[in-house]
Amino acid sequence: MTDKTWTVMNDIQAAFNNINTLDFLLDKLQQAVNEDDTTQIIDVAAALNAFLPIYEEEFNRKFKVAWKHVVGDPYDNK
């Protein structure tokens, strides 16, 4: 495996690791629901809605770079 392959695959893993943050926030949301803490429900839901698009964009960007490096560009007519 080349250094570039390792790098792009590691970048995907790092981007995917942000799921841990979402998992933490979902646990906090469930706790707030269980405790009927409306303020906390609103705050955590807002955090999830703010973070998810950022994490998705980061993962998609890293995935595209890795795909192009490992699999190739389907539009590259070499």
Q: Write down the domain spans for the chain.
A: 3-70
Q: Which helix (H) or strand (E) holds 71?
A: none
Residues ≥6 apart with Cβ < 8 Å to 34: none
Q: Are 52 and 22 in contact (CB under 8 A)?
A: yes
Q: 74: which DSSP letter?
A: T
pLDDT range class, residue 67, cuts 50, 70, 90: very high
pTM over 0.85: no
| pLDDT at residue 73 in the model | 76
Q: Which residues, at least 6 apart from 10, have a Cβ–Cβ distance to it below 8 Å?
A: none
pLDDT score, position 2: 76
pLDDT for 77 equals 62
The yes-or-no verdict on residue 12 having pLDDT over 60 is yes
Tell me the per-residue pLDDT of 33-65, one tens digit each, with 9 for 90 and over: 999 999 999 999 999 999 999 999 999 999 999
